[in-house]
Chain A
């Protein structure tokens, strides 16, 4: 296996400005803080976390859609973050993205054919056989090519998401960033899109970065999973290991909070209810960022607590077979 994308110490701070004319910088939203990842060829890496954890920003940073504050994203021999917009353009063919909202991500004034043809036009590939290519793409994602002249709003959510996928595939990319691709879809439609993505990956040899808040979806698609909390990766593990031996308390709480559509199991499940809310990313807690809600921290002795307050836990393997960013990590079976 070869690494296609390597992310190192990615940092993104968004300035918070005061109101009024001067708009003085009064602080920073610490959206992404030192994220390091690697994406292997033909692999699906799940990036999981709750809203505000920085997973979507990370996805945008990987594609150089927002400027990073710091860090490196290596694609082959090139650091994408050092490239200008113009230098980036040829690489856009190889790195594509599918957005969460199938309603907002398609220009309402364009027909399906125009939408799918747009990447081909931008990169000067439409003139030669573009029409046939569009038809072929529509078939590939399970759309009827006869509907090419319809507008996106005439389609249901699932079909729109297929249009978005076809558009991303038009330039034959190697890496696809999927930003919550099924979150906006109804259950009966969701499964079809998940299966389509799996089939496409197999046929086309794609690598996916699958961003999602939904661990049950991630379990179905991902080979490895990275769990994010407040801008940091707290646990990174092969999917099976994560669900059978979650080591970080946050991962454990997250898994336990996800309802299982199985009444008998659900009645007997142990549930970890976290207290409070995610702290503001403008002023994240010192040391371990999860400690303010951590059930384990609450049970620690005072000297032990000090370590959580003062020392940022490194994302390393503490003997659980995979790295977890908790000083007191302990593998637990949560299902």
Chain B
């Protein structure tokens, strides 16, 4: 397939800690195709952020990363920081939860957007500044002209995040990785930022990896979805398949425990809490919380089974979940 932009294969990340080696990500594989929007959803500690940090080579030095990450067929893992910086920002742009991690407090935002462009492109300063202004308008910053001269601390959180998106757009990247881009923001501001992100996608034609814990955000902004639990992908497929016909009890439980603004049925919580990365239960990591737990689950960690050709689920009994509502298996 030629339209595959990013190919992650069997990615594993380990961290040595006081209490032993923690495997934060265990054998994650996925493909990102041209123009698509891939959602990665999981709770805190599921390894969703570590995965993208590993792809970008941004993990602390003591992390042990194995597997393969290919961008248009070129291997990224194991490259030096200076080699990677040719990809980061230019081919692959990033938007993090904390916009201050990407903004320099002592430069104006106009300079920072222009600088991002000048770093990788042979254009004049005037052109870069004109383009910067254009980008600020595209991400919906009011009074963009005046704001060009503003410093990051003079902007609200939502505006800072939109500036980061403008910087991400500056080099027409092929891939934008957005890691919890709206988590710290209010809903009305979240709507603004998500719209800016959609605009960025439309204009640059970049594929998007949207990492979040919010299934609502995923529903509106992703075509395909990976659900992570305890460092693994436990279900992948199209958004519609996963939301309307989940085949992994965890996904089903997650949907059932979500308070929704459009209905008022009693929620069906999942008992217990996610396992510690230091002490994984034998077999399926969701086993101890799963209402369908059986002997096989403890004996053998389920692989990603094919539910349908484009829908995979890591559950031995995924067929039992056809047409099941959350309330039927979770109490």
Contact = CB atoms under 8 A, between A and B. Distances in A.
Interface in B155-209: 156, 158-159, 186-192, 195
Contact of B269 (A192, A219, A258, A335): A192
B262 A277 contact: no
Interface stretch (A57-65, A112-120, A262-270): A262-270
Interface string A15-58: 00000000000000000000000000000000000110000000
B146 to A, nearest CB: 13
Nearest to B266: A195
A321 interface: no
B143 to A, nearest CB: 9
A261 B260 contact: yes
B59 to A, nearest CB: 23
B220 interface: yes
A258 B257 contact: no
B186 A213 contact: yes
Interface residues of B, number: 47
Contact of B259 (A189, A216, A255, A335): A216
Contact of B258 (A187, A192, A264, A275): A187
Interface stretch (B116-124, B210-218, B291-299): B210-218
A276 interface: yes
Contact of A187 (B156, B257, B262): B257
B199 to A, nearest CB: 11
B1 interface: no
Contacts of B250: 188
Contact of B43 (A187, A254, A259): A187
Contacts of B260: 216, 219, 260-262
A157 B213 CA distance: 16
B259 A156 contact: no
A253 B44 contact: no
Given A157-B273, A273-B195, 14 more contacts: A189-B273, A191-B256, A191-B259, A191-B267, A214-B187, A214-B259, A253-B188, A257-B190, A259-B219, A262-B219, A262-B243, A263-B243, A266-B219, A269-B220
27 contacts: A159-B273, A186-B44, A186-B274, A187-B254, A189-B273, A190-B257, A192-B270, A213-B186, A215-B187, A215-B261, A216-B216, A216-B261, A217-B259, A260-B219, A261-B218, A261-B243, A261-B255, A261-B260, A263-B220, A265-B262, A266-B219, A266-B220, A273-B191, A274-B192, A276-B142, A277-B158, A335-B261
